[in-house]
């Protein structure tokens, strides 16, 4: 490690980490004919991937006039075209804008307008969603993958990235470590989603932090130091989370690209299909959010498939019940279970808990990586002693610069390089972090953040709703589900399904309440008028 100054603040950083994303992409070409991407019956080698990304990067600059700092959006499911587009955009010096593929047309249109994206890469499904909304604000060029008939002004991904010239290399673009690299959207606690501005340093820090976490786990298991110098034999990752999440992009895509590992994509999540792929592709690492690990372990198809290739099960992004690690040990003895903590604003990993540490402390999210500082503070921002509960703050080279075009929101969430996580936590004497609650009004459903105020805003638009509150309902597999408590207007008559349909018409499916309670009395409130949601949860949705 070494120290440097970023935006006037001193931070520790991994001195041997790549300075920018293009160095990761360029080094990946050395993996040559090894298989990189697997999707259904398609296979793309590392040398093929590099050539396509390099060729597409040139065409972005030469044909579309993309320059450093321009925003280029991706709206796709997990297709091989997604990482090709990601690396091409980064190599062009532009800012990658990964849009949530589960968003509605209106939400996608907002993301494009807010980011000021110049070019959009979409798959056929997102194209069908957006076509009726053309023109799309700042978008000057639209590129669609795997589509049928297209209008003349829409380009085909295959025509742009296919058949790269022999010996193609990356365009010569000057990129500095602290230049903008990504603009990931994460829902704000109020209003519309916020664009989180990540730099090349932020993302490359995460790549090295993943490597450190792996090394720490092996050393604490008793492995010899020399064993770490040997590359893992035939590493293969099964990607179960979207690329448009920081975990899928920063932790998995970057790691597999750098390591020369095989990355197996899924058209749609299914535990049975995951088990088929684990067996067929000899997957060594499987992970995602805890819900997916649960579903694989509990699947009736589990015993019918060969899972002997698995070496580790990793997850994060949502609360993980302590019994999950015990279930992994029971179903997959001898494997390495791993949990972690991070957020989009920390470019994924802040802390990890794996192996024996995790077995001994199954309710902890582990210790921070060495380049990160963590503290727990009170309501006034004063640091609390070890063991006391307060809001968790994080500082380091992985912490992003702030929110895109939202200086007030940035000022509220960042203080002198510290990001306010909104999570209530305690840090024990040995440095292990325990997240005990969330200060932010958010439900985490299977890894997706559902911000209660956003759903409540939609509920209040229903003509029959007088009052409403959204709460989290404990769920063994998903972690939490969305619950809505409704007080109807006098004389209004509607069902829980009416409420679900109303939300589904305006928001992505993960926001739709799984539970709806219609009550004939006022919601409980404190003297300041704030709904007492903990009281509602105790009354309506007890843990378990």
The pLDDT of residue 441: 78
**pLDDT at 365 exceeding the cut of 80:** yes
- DSSP annotation of 133: G
The pLDDT of residue 472: 92
**pLDDT at 321 exceeding the cut of 80:** no
- DSSP annotation of 297: H
**pLDDT at 189 exceeding the cut of 70:** no
**pLDDT at 444 exceeding the cut of 60:** yes
Q: Which of 103, 5, 81, 90 is closest to 37 using CA atoms? A: 81
Could you tell me the pLDDT band of residue 228, with boundaries at 50, 70 and 90?
A: low
Which tens digits make up the pLDDT trace of 47-83?
999 999 999 999 999 999 999 999 999 999 999 999 9
Could you tell me the pLDDT band of residue 509, with boundaries at 50, 70 and 90?
A: very high
Q: Which of 325, 322, 345 is closest to 333 using CA atoms? A: 325
Q: Which of 279, 275, 405, 418 is closest to 345 using CA atoms? A: 418
**pLDDT at 342 exceeding the cut of 70:** yes
Residue 425: how many CB atoms within 10 A of its CB?
23
The pLDDT of residue 272: 97
Do residues 482 and 450 touch, judged by C-beta distance below 8 A? yes
Which tens digits make up the pLDDT trace of 455-477?
988 998 899 998 899 999 989 88
> How far from 276 is each of 282, 296, 298, 344, CA to CA, in Å?
10, 11, 15, 31
Residue 420: how many CB atoms within 10 A of its CB?
18
Backbone dihedral angles phi then psi of residue 403, each to the nearest 5 degrees: -105, 140
Order of strands, edge to edge, in the sheet holding 515-518? 465-475, 479-488, 515-518
Q: Which of 438, 443, 493, 446 is closest to 469 using CA atoms? A: 443
Tokens of 11: 């931070």
Which residues sit opposite 263 in a β-bridge?
37, 237
Which tens digits make up the pLDDT trace of 423-436?
989 999 999 999 88
- DSSP annotation of 228: G
Which domains does the chain show, CATH number per domain? 21-32+40-175 (3.40.50.12780), 199-438 (3.40.50.12780), 442-540 (3.30.300.30)
Cβ neighbours for 542, distance < 8 A, ≥ 6 positions apart: 474
Is the pTM for the entire model greater than 0.75? yes
Could you tell me the pLDDT band of residue 44, with boundaries at 50, 70 and 90?
A: very high
Which residues sit opposite 537 in a β-bridge?
none
Mean pLDDT across the stretch 216-230?
69
Burial of residue 434 (number of CB atoms within 10 Å: 0-12, 13-18, 19+):
middle
389 Cα distance to chain centroid: 26
């Amino acid at each position: 490690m070494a120290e440097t100054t970023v935006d006037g603040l001193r931070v520790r950083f991994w001195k041997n980490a790549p300075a920018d994303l293009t160095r990761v992409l360029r080094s990946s070409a050395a993996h040559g004919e090894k298989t990189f991407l697997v999707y259904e019956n398609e296979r793309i080698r590392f040398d093929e991937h590099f050539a396509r990304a390099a060729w597409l990067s040139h065409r972005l600059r030469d044909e579309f006039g993309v320059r450093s700092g321009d925003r280029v959006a991706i709206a796709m499911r997990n297709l091989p075209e997604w990482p090709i587009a990601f690396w091409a955009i980064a190599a062009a010096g532009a800012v990658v804008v990964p849009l949530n593929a589960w968003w509605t047309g209106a939400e996608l249109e907002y993301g494009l307008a807010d980011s000021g994206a110049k070019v959009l890469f979409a798959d056929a499904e997102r194209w069908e969603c957006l076509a009726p909304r053309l023109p799309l604000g700042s978008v000057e060029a639209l590129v669609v993958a795997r589509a049928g008939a297209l209008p003349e002004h829409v380009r085909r991904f295959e025509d742009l990235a296919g058949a790269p010239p022999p010996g193609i290399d990356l365009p010569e673009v000057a990129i500095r470590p602290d230049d903008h690299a990504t603009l990931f959207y994460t829902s704000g606690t109020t209003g519309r989603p916020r664009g989180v501005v990540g730099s090349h340093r932020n993302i490359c820090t995460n790549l090295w932090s993943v490597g450190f976490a792996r090394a720490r786990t092996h050393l604490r298991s008793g492995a010899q130091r020399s064993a770490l110098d040997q590359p893992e034999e035939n590493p293969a990752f099964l990607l179960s989370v979207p690329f448009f999440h920081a975990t899928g992009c920063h932790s998995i895509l970057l790691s597999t690209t750098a390591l020369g590992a095989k990355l197996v994509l899924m058209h749609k999540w299914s535990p049975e299909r995951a088990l088929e792929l684990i067996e067929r592709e000899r997957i060594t690492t499987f992970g995602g959010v805890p819900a997916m690990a649960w579903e694989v372990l509990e699947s009736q198809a589990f015993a019918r498939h060969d899972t002997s290739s698995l070496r580790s099960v990793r997850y994060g992004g949502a609360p993980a019940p302590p019994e999950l690690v015990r279930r992994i040990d029971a179903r997959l003895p001898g494997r390495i279970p791993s949990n972690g903590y991070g957020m989009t604003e920390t470019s994924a990993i802040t802390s990890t808990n794996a192996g024996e540490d995790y077995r001994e402390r199954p309710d902890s999210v582990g210790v921070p990586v060495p380049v990160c500082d963590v503290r727990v503070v009170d309501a006034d921002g004063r640091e609390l002693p070890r063991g006391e509960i307060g809001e968790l703050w994080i500082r380091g080279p992985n912490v992003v610069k702030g929110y895109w075009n939202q200086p007030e929101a940035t000022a509220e969430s960042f203080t002198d390089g510290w990001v306010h996580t909104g999570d209530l936590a305690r840090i024990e004497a040995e440095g292990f972090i325990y997240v005990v609650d969330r200060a932010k009004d958010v439900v985490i459903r299977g890894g997706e953040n559902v911000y209660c105020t956003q759903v409540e805003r939609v509920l209040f638009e229903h003509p029959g709703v007088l009052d409403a509150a959204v709460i989290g309902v404990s769920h063994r597999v998903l972690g939490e589900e969305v619950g809505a408590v409704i007080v109807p207007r006098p004389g209004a008559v509607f069902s829980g399904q009416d409420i679900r349909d109303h939300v589904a018409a305006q928001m992505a499916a993960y926001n739709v309440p799984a539970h709806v309670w219609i009550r004939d009395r006022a919601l409980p409130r404190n003297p300041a008028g704030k709904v007492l949601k903990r009281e509602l949860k105790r009354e309506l949705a007890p843990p378990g």
